[in-house]
Structure 1
């Protein structure tokens, strides 16, 4: 358990951004029993992504781009996403 959503996030981000670095870290265990923990083991994630698609784009817009690429995952299927989006420099 705990890999289905992570794999879907990875697939969507690879397709949208062709990242040079991508890590999808499941942080759900750290939030067990807290608000937003639905017991699925897939409620909280950190995304570390590096892509040329972010060149010239503000930090906030990078986060918006990532969220848009994930469709209904943020806020509906996953309670919390921490996004660290950078350019390959």
Structure 2
């Protein structure tokens, strides 16, 4: 997702992840439209469901759950108020 194509929630997510985890690679995709009619859907243009693929040295030596906790911590209250669902792939460099 190109920064200019992102909505305000995706931009804020990207900013927080970059500041907290210094990713070497990151892709954030807004999948909200694929969830039309499902719980948490906020209508056309509403950002609620995302997919994240991220690589960061901060994940080195951590299991999947610990990595996801780091992502949730970086996103903070966005996970409680803005983001309904976040699917993610987390990797350390070289994996």
TM-score, scaled to structure 1: 0.92
Q: CA deviation at 1:41?
A: 2.2
- Structure 1: gaps spanning 5 or more residues: none
Give the 5 Å matches for 1:4-83.
4-39=8-43, 40-83=45-88
Deviant stretches of 4+, over 4 Å = none
Q: What value does the CA root-mean-square deviation take over the aligned residues?
A: 1.4
Q: Distance in 2 between matches of 1:19 and 1:78?
A: 20
Query: How many aligned residue pairs are there?
Result: 89
Q: Distance in 2 between matches of 1:83 and 1:72?
A: 18
Q: CA deviation at 1:75?
A: 3.1
- Structure 2: gaps spanning 5 or more residues: none
